[in-house]
Each structure stands twice: as structure tokens, then as C-alpha cells.
Amino acid sequence: MYTQFELGRNFLVRAEHNSDLIQFVTELAEKEGITVATFTAIGALKRAKLEFYDQEKHEYREIALDSPQEIASCVGNISVTDGRTFVHAHAVLADKNGNTKAGHLLEGVVFAAEVHLRELKGAKLERKYDTVTGLSLWET
């Protein structure tokens, strides 16, 4: 299953210092009326929480990073879940020694970050619970 979209507006945005990156992207999408998009982010976080999804237990395991982290990579998308804006992001974060951790980005306190958000126009894109994986996945 797949859905084709047209490229809509593009945003280059500096995330606010001390904001939560996921909440910042969520609020931007809601302010601009965006329900489907992709985004990338670069910069640094003061601290972060990642999650790893255990495929057998169908549950997330939290990875707390309580020290400054460089955003080596952050990619994500925006869709709708239960009528609400849902931001889904994965990140690779590096500490001061270059050691990396990666996973689903649950939260990240921004030191400095730049976001490139690309709106997608066309069909509605919603997430629904999938019994096989235990995840909310796109229903196209």
C-alpha cells in the first residue's frame, strides 16, 4: 500500500533554546495547519530520551541521555493519530566522546537546532493500531 503526495510548503526553522524538539515540531505543524509532512533536524540537545521498541514484547524501552548530545541525524514525519497531530522521529545522537545512541526520539531539550519541514499535500494520512506489530502505523 502506498499513497502519492505533492510537495507543499517548505519551512526552515530555528528551534527555540530549551524547547522540546518534538513539541516544537508539533506546535509548528498545528500552527501552520500541517497534517502530513517529513522533516529533518540538525544541532545539539542538552539532554534527550530515546526509545527502543522490543519487537517480541511489543513495548518500548527508554534510553535516557542526561548529558549534551550532538544531533548526528534526526529524521521524522508528521501524520494524524486519533484526530491529533503525531510527530514520529528517530535520531542518532553523539556524546562529547563521539559515542552514539539511536532510536525513537521521545523528547530532546534543545540547545540549538535547525529544522527543515516539508509539507506534503494530497490524501489524508492517519495512523491506526496494528495488532501484528503492536504499533500505530500509517493507514493509506
Domains of the chain: 11-139 (3.30.1330.80)
Please give the pLDDT value at position 139: 87
Q: How confident is the model at residue 1 (pLDDT cuts 50, 70, 90)?
A: confident
Report pLDDT digits (tens) over 33-88.
999 999 999 999 999 999 999 999 999 999 999 999 999 999 999 999 999 999 99
**pLDDT value, residue 124:** 85
**So what's the pLDDT on residue 110?**
99
Instruction: Note if the pTM is more than 0.85.
Output: yes
At 109-132, the pLDDT tens digits run 999 999 999 999 998 899 999 999
Q: What's the distance, Cα to Cα, between the start and end of the chain in Å?
A: 6
Between residues 125 and 103, the one the model is more confident about = 103
